[in-house]
Structure 1
Amino acid sequence: MGAWFIFDMVGFILFDMVGIPGNLVILYAFAHMLMCHRKVTPSEIILSKLALSNLLVILTQGIPVTLKTFRLQNTYNDLVCKITLHIYCVSRAMTICITSLLGCFQCILIVPSPCKWLRLRENLLKNLSSVMISLWCFNLFVCSTHLAYSSSQAAANSSIIKSHTVMYNFCCVVFPSRFLYLGTGTVSVIRDLFFLGIMTLSSCYLLSMFYQHGKQAKHLLGLHTKHAEIQAAKAVVALLIMYLLCFGLDSLFWIYTLCVYPVSLRLIDARMFLDSCYSAISPLVIILTNKKVQTGLKCETRRRPLPSAESISKYIQ
């Protein structure tokens, strides 16, 4: 066994061991709070959707790649590959959409003039479910080609691998034409770059607010409320920066694969590794910085109603 194979095997096994329990813990914590307090806030909806998307990424990618390292990939037939790849691509797309939504939501909350943004904030909170459903439907449509043209590598190896084939570690997508291959890839790249751009703007704005808050804190006292929101925003920025690093590199690799043939298997492994990295590590960031998740994991002897607050700062800090 080579060093690359050992690194690949150990890395994905660790991601499975960390990512699956981590995301399940977040989902359990919010479910526990829902049963105890009979209500769900918008921030909890966003974080629970993010945890669900991360969990699906690990289940549909981390586990198959781990099985391949143990030479068990032949258990995947064409039907299983179609379903697995479709769920993986939709879940991966949802992680970038939800993370971008999280950054925008936090920016609206800490804007210096909340009155000007009050209507936008109210509309976002009112239509949060519609926004989520729209994102799911959009990504289901964009990723529909994986459901139509995916096949197992055993089937692909029996034929000639064409230049319009997208290889994964455990399955592949054989497009009927080069035009459809490039069209699907271009749409995916534009979608990823669009949301990565939103994350970049959100991160820059939040960082500028941190700088301004630091200067104000030297001269003013009694900024407890704003300080709490700033602390919450720092957790969001950590998620945004981590996502930009992981999926920014992944997007560059994806653009490279569209232009080069044949594609190196190590490059495919690197893309899979970067995709799993965020889904496995981000739950740890949320658990360590989110007091609501920590509270939800504790069995409370007394049930006390929580104050109704829409600010995500009370759920990520």
Structure 2
Amino acid sequence: MVPSDIAFRIIFIFQTGVGGLGNSVLLGHYIFTYLTGHRLKPIDLLFIHLAFVNNGVLFSKGIPQTMAAFGINNFLDDTGCKLVVYLHRVARSLSLFTTSSLSGFQAITINSKSTRCVNFKAKMPKYIVPSCFLYWAFSLLIYGHIPLYIKGPKESRNATETNEFIYCSFHVSGDTLLFTIITTLLDLVHVGIMVWTSGFMVFILYRHHQETRYIHQNNFTPGGAPETRAIQTILLLVSMFVSFYLINSIMAGYMSFFKPSPWFVHSSAFLAACFPACSPFVLIMSDSQVLRYCVAFWRRIKAPILTLILG
């Protein structure tokens, strides 16, 4: 057995399991907070949506990739391949939308000097849920083209097909390339929003730092410790997403035109799942309430887990 195969098996199991647990704990915290009568902040709704779609990305990519790493390549038929790849692309698109929305939301929130932003900020919370539903509908529609060119591993292949996912294949044609260009441009729009709003927030933080050198107040506008931590959290999430997205996009572009090795496919899948696996822990560590919830949850389940392990 090749050592790299063993390594990828462990990596995918760990990444999917730990990432899924982190997103589920985050979802559990916000659901528990809502059910106990506490009011959720508008940005919490975006965090809930991000955790939910990130689990979709992890499970639709991580589970099939883990099975493929174990050498089980024909576990999906043609319909299964179409469904899994379709759900992954939709969830990935929604994760991109939510991350860019978080960045834009935070940039508008801290821009207190613009009258237009102040007025929009007051109305913004009521747009969050409708915009998420609207983008769900948009993503489900635009990626409805995917089942047309995704095929199961048992389907016949020729020189015009590429075994991109190991467990599935896709047909390369003129329509496929056009669809890829359109969806890539949409992704770049979201990435552009992230980069622009992140640059704006960095500028606000720098200006705040310069002003507080002369005005020694802890609650100076726009900062205050909670707002500053929120900005830093969003900047870290955006940096992670953009970095993993760019690297994975380059690898996906290569796989669209050349037949990659299994090692290359596994590496691309690992990078594609890094953000949804890591982002919940960034949010957990940046929010003291979520962290306290996680500590209490761990204390409650620690004894049964140890009992199960030790027999």
Do the structures match in fold with TM over 0.5? yes
TM-score (norm 1): 0.85
Work out the percentage of aligned pairs sharing the same amino acid. Answer: 23
**Deviation string for 1:169-195 (max 9, x for gaps)?**
3222335xx111101111121112111
Question: Unaligned 5+ residue runs, structure 2?
Answer: 298-311
The match for 2:265 among 259, 265, 268 is 268
CA distance, structure 1, for counterparts of residue 218 and residue 252 of structure 2: 45
Equivalent residues of 1:166, 1:174 under 8 A apart: no
Q: SS of the residue aligned with 2:154? A: helix
**Does residue 214 of structure 1 match 2:209?**
yes
Distance 1:161 1:291, change over 3 A: farther
**Deviation string for 1:98-155 (max 9, x for gaps)?**
0000000010111141533122223432221221112111211221122343222122
Equivalent residues of 1:149, 1:173 under 8 A apart: yes
The match for 1:169 among 166, 169, 173 is 166
Tell me the C-alpha RMSD between the 2 structures: 2.2
CA distance, structure 2, for counterparts of residue 152 and residue 241 of structure 1: 35
Partner residue, 2:147: 147
TM-score (norm 2): 0.87
Measured after TM superposition, the shift of residue 242 of structure 1 is 0.5
CA distance, structure 2, for counterparts of residue 191 and residue 166 of structure 1: 25
Partner residue, 2:307: none
Partner residue, 1:81: 81
- Aligned pair count reads 294
Distance 1:63 1:123, change over 3 A: same
Measured after TM superposition, the shift of residue 164 of structure 1 is 5.2
Question: Structure 2: which amino acid aligns with 1:238?
Answer: L
Measured after TM superposition, the shift of residue 279 of structure 1 is 0.8
Equivalent residues of 2:29, 2:290 under 8 A apart: yes
Question: Structure 2: which amino acid aligns with 1:204?
Answer: G
Equivalent residues of 2:164, 2:259 under 8 A apart: no
Equivalent residues of 1:163, 1:262 under 8 A apart: no
Distance 1:139 1:168, change over 3 A: same
- Within 5 Å, which residues of 2 pair with 1:51-90? 51-90=51-90
Question: Structure 2: which amino acid aligns with 1:230?
Answer: T
Q: SS of the residue aligned with 1:74? A: coil
Partner residue, 2:282: 285
CA distance, structure 2, for counterparts of residue 257 and residue 120 of structure 1: 43
Question: Structure 2: which amino acid aligns with 1:286?
Answer: L
CA distance, structure 1, for counterparts of residue 193 and residue 280 of structure 2: 21
